[in-house]
Chains A and B, each alone.
Chain A
Amino acid sequence: MPEPGSNRTPETGAFFQRDRQWHPPAFTPGYKSSVLRSPQKALVAFDNTLSELTGPVFGHAMLGELDNDLIHNFAKPGESAIGERIIVHGRVLDERGRGVPGVLLEFWQANSGGRYRHKKDGYLAPLDPNFGGCGRTITAEDGGYAFRTVRPGPYPWPNGPNDWRPAHIHFSLFGHGFAQRLITQMYFEGDPLIWRCPIVGGISNRAAIEALIAALDMQSTIPMDALAYKFDIVLRGRRSTLFENRPEGN
Chain B
Amino acid sequence: MAQSLDRLRESPSQTAGPYVHIGLTPNFCGIGGVYASDLGATMVNDKTKGERIGLRIRVLDGTGTPLKDALVEIWQADTDGLYNSPAERRGTADPNFSGWGRCPTETGLCTFDTIKPGRVPSRDGSLMAPHITLWIVARGINLGLHTRLYFSDEEKANAQDPILTRIEHSVRVPTLIAKRTGDIYVFDVHLQGEKETVFFDS
Binding site for B on A (CB under 8 A): 1, 3, 10, 12, 16-20, 22-26, 28, 31, 33-41, 43-58, 64, 66-67, 73-74, 93-97, 106-108, 116-121, 132-136, 170, 172, 176-179, 181-185, 199-200, 202-203, 207-209, 211-212, 233-237, 247, 250
Task: Offer 13 A-B interface pairs, CB within 8 angstroms, sorted by A.
Answer: A36-B62, A38-B192, A46-B200, A46-B202, A67-B34, A132-B22, A133-B23, A176-B87, A182-B11, A185-B17, A200-B14, A208-B9, A212-B12
Which residues from chain A contact B46 at a C-beta distance below 8 Å?
Answer: none
Residue of chain A at shortest CB distance from B101: A56
List of A residues within 8 angstroms of B39 by Cβ: 58, 106
State whether B201 touches A56 (Cβ < 8 A). Answer: no
Do residues A44 and B199 form an inter-chain contact, with CB atoms below 8 A?
yes
CA distance A66 to B9 in the complex (A): 32
Given contacts A37-B192, A234-B11, contact A170 B16 (CB under 8 A): yes
Q: Are A37 and B9 in contact (CB under 8 A)?
A: no
Interface residues of B (CB under 8 A from A): 6-24, 26, 29-31, 33-36, 39, 61-63, 67, 69, 73, 75, 77, 83-90, 98-100, 120-125, 128, 131, 133, 135, 137-146, 148, 163, 166-167, 172, 191-193, 196-202
* A33 to B: closest C-beta gap in Å: 3
B67: chain A residues at CB < 8 Å are 37
Bound: A172/B21 CA distance, A? 11
Given that A49-B123, A51-B75, A176-B87 are contacting pairs, would A40 and B192 also be in contact in the complex, using a CB cutoff of 8 Å? yes
Q: A44-B167, A53-B87, A250-B90 are in contact. Are A178 and B133 (CB under 8 A)?
A: yes
